[in-house]
Amino acid sequence: MQSVIADVKNLLSDLISRYRSRVDYLAIRLEESEGSSIGLRGDKVETLSESLSIGGQVRVCYKGGWGFASFNHLSTLSERIEEAITAARIVGDTETILAPIEIIQDIRQFPLTGTDPRHITLAQKKALCDRYNQILRQYDPRITTTTVRYGDSTQRVIIATSEGTLIEQSWADIEMRFSATARHNDIVQTGRETTGSRQAYEDMTSLEEQVQSAAQRAVDALSIPTVKGGNYTVVIDPILTGLFVHEAFGHLSEADMAYENPDLLEVMSMGRRFGTEELQIFDGAAPQGHRGSYCYDDEGTPATTTQLIKNGILVGRLHSRETAGKLGETPTGNARCLNYHYPPIVRMTNTWIERGKTPVADLFKGIKEGVYARNWLGGMTNGEMFTFSAGEAWMIRDGKVAEPVRDVTLSGNVFKTLGDIEAIGDDFYWDESGGCGKGGQSGLAVGCGGPSLRIRNVIVGGEA
């Protein structure tokens, strides 16, 4: 295998030498991916497959214009390079501006702490899904629909560029999703759990408690009253914090959204205050062991940790080489693609709010009437506006967690909400369940983290 890889690298180097004089920039990314996918719905098997994918992409820049082509056979690589060059020359009419990076030649493999999912048979993975599905289906007769989904992927990527970068890196990623829907008369409620790992297959084999929790939440919600809508002081748990910082703030920090939108660039201007002195927000692939971690992005830029908000003030944003060049800033290693069919775009990696100093129990003090929300069912963002659905929630009365409520949605403007954070808890949790979507590339593995937060003036949807 190593001799084959060496031959491939030599081929890439030869092709880049042949074509580099015709363009400002040329990059070839090869990808070998091996994985399995299982999907169960009730007593039906919707998906049961194993796959092996080998392919690549060519990216060319000429006078600021980009050309892109993907391929599945190395024998066609010369033709794909010609196509990409032709496309770039048709659209290029200004100047190629790519922020400089260190030229690196390196080989990296993310180590597993346990069993490689490739060493587990598809039958064993199916049996694991069956076991979890039985827990959901047998939990309560009011549960009418269950889903269990399993997926793993092991990737090896080689990146070669006309600047001299030659990088090989590989990793494994595993994810499971569970849901249970319960019905009583006209009331329908769903409980969900998602988890992922880049560590070991064993991380998926002892999830009975999470599976039961999804079923329990669905059943419990059938008899829980709906929250009365209004403005509340809200306490959210670390999982909702991770979702909030990723969806509501993280996407606005991706520089391709800013430099293409002058109004947003003005709003997201460096030095603007968004929160209290205690608020610290980061994104980075450099912290090891998370689903958004890697050594180099898909342009060959080394992984970093970028502070986005420091002491409540905006100090950074996420970049590809092109966005960093156009804004006169430094590349952050955030150019990522889902697979070889797509060009790299600016994407988050692991995004988190740093833990604070307030004991979690103290977050509830002084709240006469509020809402405590945990976990998530779903959500959406539209620019700076967001709406999230909590997985479970309780009223807060006179500083104490009181009766449970359902159908809790949290809405607001992200900038106002950041400013309305009253206290930051001293706890912290990494949520490895994320699959991010952007630009038609959905399911990219990311990590989210944070502490519990106390936020005033949150719009909570429910009964009028």
Encoding tokens for residue 64? 């600021």
Question: Which amino acid is it at 146?
Answer: T
Neighbouring CB atoms inside 10 A of 351's CB total 28
Query: What is the CB neighbour count within 10 angstroms for residue 200?
Result: 16
Task: Identify the structural domains of the chain with CATH numbers, from first to last.
Answer: 2-223 (3.30.2290.10), 230-461 (no CATH)
Name the DSSP letter for residue 187: E
pLDDT in tens, the chain (464 residues): 566 677 898 999 999 999 999 999 999 999 999 999 999 999 999 999 999 999 999 999 999 999 999 999 999 999 999 999 999 999 999 999 999 999 999 999 999 999 999 999 999 999 999 999 999 999 999 999 999 999 999 999 999 999 999 999 999 999 999 999 999 999 999 999 999 999 999 999 999 999 999 999 999 999 999 999 999 999 999 999 999 999 999 999 999 988 888 888 898 999 999 999 999 999 999 999 899 999 999 999 999 999 999 999 999 999 999 999 999 999 999 999 999 999 999 999 999 999 999 999 999 999 999 999 999 888 888 889 999 999 999 999 999 999 999 999 999 999 999 999 999 999 999 999 878 999 899 999 999 999 999 999 999 986 54
The gap between the terminal CA atoms of the chain, to the nearest Å, is: 65
In this prediction, residue 380 carries a pLDDT of 84
Task: Characterise 376 by phi-psi region: left (phi > 0), alpha (psi -120 to 50), beta (else).
Answer: beta
Write out the DSSP string of 321-370.
HHHHHHHT----S-EE-SSTTS--EE---EEEEPP-SB-GGGGGTT-SEE
Helix/strand number for the chain, H first, E second: 9, 22
Q: Tokens in use for 209?
A: 């408690």
pLDDT at 464: 46
Among residues 302, 3, 1, 14, which one has the least CA distance to residue 169? 302
Amino acid at site 340: Y
CB 166 within 8 A of CB 9: yes
pTM of the model: 0.95
Question: What is the token pair recorded at 452?
Answer: 């519990």
Residue 463 has what pLDDT? 57
Instruction: Select from 215, 236, 168 the least CA-distant residue to 4.
Output: 168
Tokens of 429: 């949790």
Helix (H) or strand (E) holding 446: strand 441-450
Residues 6+ apart with CB under 8 A from 418: 249, 274, 275, 279, 309
Q: What pLDDT score does 271 carry?
A: 97
**What is the C-alpha to C-alpha distance for residues 78 and 82, in angstroms, rounded to an integer?**
6
